[in-house]
Amino acid sequence: MSNDSCDPDVYKYGESCGMHVMTGQQAEARCKELSEETGDKYDWHYVAGRVHLKVLKKDAPRYKPEEKIAQLEAENATQALTIKWYETQFKPPVQPPTQQWLDSQEKAGE
C-alpha cells in the first residue's frame, strides 16, 4: 500500500472491491486494516475521482502473459508447419499459362 501508486500486482491481478467516496488517507487506512484482518493484499487507486479498492487474495492464481505468449507462438508454429506440409502434399503447384497455350486459345476462339 502506498500513497504514490497502487501495488502493481494488486492493480494488475486483483479483484475489484468497488468504487468508494473517501479520501486517500481513509482508503489507505481501510486497506491496511483489511490486509491485516484477512491476510490478503488490499490496495487502492483513483478512478474518475473515486477510490477504487482492489484485493489480491493470497491463494489467487497469477496470470503470466509471457507463458501464454510462448504457448501461442508454439501453437502458431505448429499450425504453420501443418499448413505448409498439407499444401506441399496435396496441392499441385499452379503454374502460369505459357505463351504457346495463350496463342492456341486465341486461335481456337477465332
In the chain, the percentage of residues whose pLDDT exceeds 90 is: 35
Specify the amino acid at residue 21.
Answer: V
pLDDT greater at residue 24 or residue 77: 24
Q: Is the pLDDT of residue 2 over 60?
A: no
Q: Give the predicted TM-score (pTM) of the model.
A: 0.52
Q: Is the pLDDT of residue 93 over 80?
A: no
43 vs 55: CA distance, rounded Å: 7
Burial, 53: exposed, middle or buried (Cβ in 10 Å; 0-12, 13-18, 19+)? Answer: buried
Picking from 46, 40, 11, 47, the residue whose alpha carbon sits closest to that of residue 25 is 46
pLDDT in tens, 44-72: 999 999 999 999 988 766 656 667 667 77
18 vs 15: CA distance, rounded Å: 9
pLDDT band at 29 (very low <50, low <70, confident <90, very high): very high
37 vs 55: CA distance, rounded Å: 13
pLDDT band at 95 (very low <50, low <70, confident <90, very high): low
